Structure 1
Amino acid sequence: MEKRIINPWEWQDKRSYVQAVEVKNVESTLYISGQTAISADGISSDEDMKSQLIKALQNLEQVISEAGYECKNIVRLNIYTTATHELWPHFNIFQDWIAKHGIQQALTLLEVKSLFETLKVELEATVVK
């Protein structure tokens, strides 16, 4: 697999994403449903944004790992949140997770009216190998 990062500018570097990722000679692609702060028993979290973000990242990592992929090969990540003003103070948690895995992904962040039940943040990813 070959990955090429396209960044015409530098400002996105401080925001932990890239403008585009080109991938060639891919063995396989994993399209992951939105991962949230849902327990292994299927119970939606009613905790605060920080707790939900941490749990959503853990769930995303678990799905990637169990599928036999690596987080470093996330090429696309969409973040959906019901409240960007609640997410911003904890965005460093996301950025630290990205840095820990050496991820360089295209990213979209969207504020939505609601998510399933009591959920505040959802992470949808595409991973290659």
Structure 2
Amino acid sequence: MEKRIINPWTWQNDRNYAQAVEVKNVQSTLYVSGQTAIDENGISSDADMKTQITKTIENLEKVILQADFELKNIVRLNVFTTDHPAFFENFDILQSWITKHGIQQATTVIEVKTLFETLTVEMEATVVK
């Protein structure tokens, strides 16, 4: 698999994402459904944004690793949140995780009116190998 990052500018580097990601010679692609802060028993979290972001990332990781893909090969990460200000107050959690795993991905963050039950953040990913 070959991956090429397209960044006509440099300002997005401080926000830990790429303007575009091209992949060639892909062996396999994993499309991960939106992951949220739901526990192993299917119970939705009603915790604060920081806790929900952390649990959402844990669940996203679990699915990707169980599928035998590498986190560094996430090429698209979409984030949905019901509280844009609270999400960005805790954005460092996501940025640290991205940096830790050497992920270079195209990203969109979208504020939505509501998510399932008490959830405030959801992340979906595309991963290649």
* TM-score normalised according to structure 1 size: 0.99
What SS does the aligned partner of 1:94 have? helix
Q: Which residue of 1 aligns with 2:31?
A: 31
What is the CA–CA distance in structure 2 between the aligned matches of 1:5 and 1:87, rounded to whole Å? 26
Structure 2, unaligned runs of 5 or more: none
What SS does the aligned partner of 2:57 have? helix
Q: Which residue of 1 aligns with 2:56?
A: 56
What SS does the aligned partner of 2:45 have? coil
Q: Which residue of 2 aligns with 1:68?
A: 68
Q: Which residue of 2 aligns with 1:86?
A: 86
Letter of the aligned partner of 1:73 in structure 2?
N
Q: Percent identity?
A: 67
What SS does the aligned partner of 1:39 have? coil
Q: Which residue of 2 aligns with 1:100?
A: 100
Aligned residue pairs, count: 129
Q: Which residue of 1 aligns with 2:20?
A: 20
Letter of the aligned partner of 2:114 in structure 1?
S
Letter of the aligned partner of 2:43 in structure 1?
I
What is the CA–CA distance in structure 2 between the aligned matches of 1:113 and 1:67, rounded to whole Å? 31
Letter of the aligned partner of 2:84 in structure 1?
T
Q: CA deviation at 1:115?
A: 0.3
* TM-score normalised according to structure 2 size: 0.99
Provide runs of 4+ in structure 1 moved above 4 Å. Answer: none
Q: CA deviation at 1:111?
A: 0.2
Q: CA deviation at 1:30?
A: 0.2
Aligned-residue Cα RMSD (Å) equals 0.3
What is the CA–CA distance in structure 2 between the aligned matches of 1:99 and 1:128, rounded to whole Å? 18
Q: CA deviation at 1:22?
A: 0.3
Structure 1, unaligned runs of 5 or more: none
Q: CA deviation at 1:89?
A: 1.2
What is the CA–CA distance in structure 2 between the aligned matches of 1:124 and 1:23, rounded to whole Å? 18
What is the CA–CA distance in structure 1 between the aligned matches of 2:22 and 2:121, rounded to whole Å? 27
